[in-house]
Amino acid sequence: MTEIKEIGPDGRRLPVVLITGFLGSGKTTLLSRILQHKDMGNTAVIVNEFGEIGLDHMLVETPTDDDEMVLLNSGCLCCTIRGDLVDTLKDLLIKRQKGEIPAFERVVVETTGLADPAPILLTILSDELIPLWFVLDSVVTVVDAVNGSGQLDTHFESVKQAAVADRIVLSKTDIADKTMIEDIRMRLAKLNPGADIQEVSHGDVDPYRLLNIGIEATGDREADIKEWLREDAFHDDCAEHDHDHHHGHDDHDHAHHNHSHHDETIKSFAIFRDKPIKPDGLKLWLNMLAGFRGPQLLRVKGLLNVNGEPIVIHAVQHLFHDPISLPKWPTDDRRSRIVFITHDLDRAALERTLDALDLDATPAGGMNPDAPFDPEAYKRFVAAMSAFGTADPK
């Protein structure tokens, strides 16, 4: 395989934006409008060959040597997935570095309307090489304001698409009545309180409201973390839980009450923790969480206080990114905060595991390797670990 060299003068990874949404929701209309923006000419677009490609009106300025890649009139590079997404990304990167294609600065992946987004996210995150050169920037889900409620009722894929989104684009608002729009907005806000919902007609939206919101986005670090995590959307107004004041808000009973059974299986909540986390406890907790609860974790984001240092975590199902250490705290708030989007797993089940975060593998006798663990801390750890196997996921 051709050697893949360092990308960019600043060493930043190339951001990947996933655009998803159910059949007929308007993904391609949105994508077309985004690509026509004056600043989007440095974008590589990957579409599934079974998807609603519909970019013919933007084709073709200059064919490349590869039949699967074309240059759009906007200057964007477009290719199709005819094999594995990982192979497509690697191929794009190698051709970019050889100068065979324009030096794109971001990648947009459009899924099919029936796609479950979780495996696609896992593909981007789990390969040995891809995470070295690409980073997930945002998940944009398009929801049809006219037909979206019916799709959410009957197709669980559409529920998951909305649940994992960083941004939800509510399309066809020009032909939906006011009540219809209000109802779908309330329902989506219940499914995913952390997603910014934007009403859009004919795909007309500023791309910068959808892009550059990941943890490696350029700009002000404080704004980046706040936009990415959006913990403010999860009200810290519930009764205190356990000894460490774990707060959250997972039911949102004030929201739309005509949701379907599919909606009921999705839980969106945040847990806040005042007490600093131990590195050993964090490592074991993440491993156990992924191993025992991975399939139920649609998405996890967190900013943690690990021995006083700010650490960012991000997960999709069983796969956790390596924790990222920030150079400084983005705000004066030193609490740990973790945002969960789960399937058939509620806050109480996760809170029963949090004492595992207190485990310190350093012997109680300091540098004495024969000194035992703190027996009380170890007892709490064992109890927390047992909760991973015994907590009722329902």
pLDDT single digits (tens) 266-299: 999 999 999 999 998 898 899 888 888 888 999 9
Portions of the chain given CATH number 3.40.50.300: 14-218
Residue 342 reports pLDDT greater than 80:
yes
Whole-number mean pLDDT of the chain? 79
Q: Which runs of consecutive H residues, i.e. helices, occur in the chain?
A: 27-35, 85-98, 117-126, 130-133, 148-154, 156-163, 178-191, 221-229, 261-264, 279-293, 347-351, 375-390
Please report the pLDDT score of residue 51 as a whole number.
44
The Cα–Cα gap between 328 and 16 comes to 25
Of all residues in the chain, the percent with pLDDT exceeding 70 is 75
Classify domain 235-390 at the CATH superfamily level.
Answer: CobW-like, C-terminal domain (3.30.1220.10)
Mean pLDDT of 74-97: 83
Highest CATH level, class, for 14-218: alpha beta
Query: Which pLDDT band, with edges at 50, 70 and 90, does 377 fall under?
Result: low
- Is the pLDDT at 237 greater than 50? The verdict is no
Confidence category of residue 233, pLDDT binned at 50, 70, 90: confident
Taking the whole predicted model, whether its pTM rises above 0.75 is answered as yes
Lowest-pLDDT range of 175-189, 192-206, 353-367: 353-367
The pLDDT of 224-231, averaged and rounded, is 79
- 194-208, 224-238, 306-320: which has the minimum mean pLDDT? 224-238
Is the pLDDT at 303 greater than 90, yes or no? yes
C-beta atoms surrounding 179 within 10 Å: 8
Nearest to 43 by CA among 130, 137, 114: 137
The residue with tokens 């519909």 is: 54
DSSP state of 277: B
Show the tokens assigned to 291: 């191993």
Q: Residue 266 region, left (φ>0) first, then alpha (ψ -120 to 50), else beta?
A: beta
Contact 300, 339 (CB under 8 A): yes
CA distance 216 to 224: 8
CATH 3.30.1220.10 domain extents, the chain: 235-390
- CA-based radius of gyration for the chain: 22
pLDDT tops 90 at residue 130:
no
Whole-number Cα distances in Å, 117 to 14, 17, 153, 176: 20, 12, 18, 26
Name the pLDDT band for 20 (thresholds 50, 70, 90). Answer: very high
**Do residues 32 and 58 touch, judged by C-beta distance below 8 A?**
yes
* Confidence band, pLDDT 50/70/90 cuts, at residue 251: very low
**β-pairing verdict for 77-81 and 43-48:** parallel
Tokens of 12: 């930043």
**Whether residue 240 has pLDDT greater than 50:** no
Residue pair 51/166 in contact (Cβ under 8 Å)? The answer is no
